[in-house]
Amino acid sequence: MSETTYLEAIRAGLAEELARDETVLLLGEDIGSYGGAFKVTEGLLDRFGAGRVIDTPIAETAIVGAAAGAAHMGFRPVCEMQFIDFLSCAYSILTNYVATARYRADLSTPMVIRGPSGGFVRGGPFHSQNPEAAYLHTPGLKIVAPATARDAKGLIKAAIRDDDPVLYFEHKYLYRRIKETLDPAEEVLTPIGSARLAREGGDLSVVTYSAMVHKAVEAAERLEREDGLAVEVIDLRTLAPLDDAAIVASVKKTNRVLLVHEDTRTGGLAAEITARINEQCFEWLDAPVRRVCAHDVPLPYAPPLEDWVLPQTEDIVKACRWLAAY
């Protein structure tokens, strides 16, 4: 047993799958001897060789295209985007080619695209994005976003084993801040499509994912102390396909729901979940569905502005209080 950080958990998951299955490949910018911009792949080149841990040019379209071809030829490639913001450079091949391959040609494309997303690190507009909504709208892609070290490992392994393309959004703020005791001997696999009950409560539900899970739990603990409220927190883990059953069950239990995401508000995941709640459990709502999201602006560099734009624990606390009093 050892304390494993979120980042180490991703690395351990990659290493286990590289060792387990020789068709698994890694591709990305500076992921070899440099070990990746955040050192996620550090040590893997020495262990698995340059044939399986492949440095690529700075060309995201080429990375995704090469991975798609390799996937069709029987490999299970894992692409690293140095920052997930740059996945948009490969938007066309990802949405037009990769996501449609199974539908168009009955082609299985078992590939993973992973990379650091999210803010709170003063990274500014090009290095802080949460682009899930852009891909959520593309049928044919699965999207996961772990909040814990255990799920970081369990989801990268499950994503690699999945026969369809999976986008794996890791959160750079969590890389070295989240630790958990993981048994290296245990095979951790987190099923894709299944949410996690991060905290149980009966008064209202907060549905969220990734780094916001930790802020939601922090808010829930404060609300329990200060207001005596029992706040339930659902960690979605998988964003596509959404675990409707888990969301609906929680809404039917608490009747009040707050959706939280770090991505910007308009057209975000919260809007989609709100629609599903309306469709599936409207008559169980005792208050309007609320959301706490980032403002609809590019993320500013300036620390006070970044803090203002991104959702903070205080915002969640306030919104919960409003919901509880409604």
Partner 1 sequence: MGRIDVVMPQMGESIAEGTLSRWLKQVGDTVKRDEPIFEISTDKVDAEIPAPTAGVLAEVLVKEGETVPVQTVVARLETDAAAAASAPAASPPAAEAPAPASPPPPPPPPSRAAAPPPAPAPAPAAPAPAAASAVETAEERLKRRSTPLVRRMVAEHGLDLGAIPGTGMAGRVTKNDVLAFMERAPSAPAPAPAAGAPAQPAGGVAVIPGPVVEPWEGDRIESWSRIRKLTADHMIMSRRVSPHVQSLIEIDYTRIVGIRARKKAEFASRGVNLTYLAFIAKAVADNLRKHPSLNAAVMGESTIFRHEINLGIAVALDWGLIVPVIRRADELALLGMARAIQDLAGRARDKKLSPDEVQKGTFTITNPGGFGTVVGLPIINQPQAAILAVGSIEKRPAVVTLPDGTDGLGVRTLGYLSMSFDHRIVDGADADRFLADVKRTLHAYPDDAS
Q: Which residues bind partner 1 (CB under 8 A)?
A: 226-227, 255, 265, 282-288, 290-292, 295-297, 314-315, 317-319, 321-322, 324-326
Q: Fill in the DSSP letter of residue 89.
A: G
Distance CA 129, CA 119 (A): 7
Is 65 or 267 the residue whose CB approaches partner 1 more closely? 267
**263: helix, coil or strand?**
strand
Is 227 or 244 the residue whose CB approaches partner 1 more closely? 227
Distance CA 267, CA 17 (A): 35
The answer to whether 141 and 240 are in contact (CB under 8 A) is yes
Residue 109 CB, nearest distance to partner 1 (Å)? 37
Residue 234 CB, nearest distance to partner 1 (Å)? 19
Is 25 or 229 the residue whose CB approaches partner 1 more closely? 229
Distance CA 306, CA 120 (A): 7
**Residues belonging to the active site:** 127
Residue 200 CB, nearest distance to partner 1 (Å)? 16
Distance CA 124, CA 186 (A): 38
Q: Which residues are 4's β-sheet partners? A: 180
Is 245 or 297 the residue whose CB approaches partner 1 more closely? 297
Residue 202 CB, nearest distance to partner 1 (Å)? 11
Pairing of strands 142-144, 238-240: antiparallel
Distance CA 270, CA 273 (A): 5
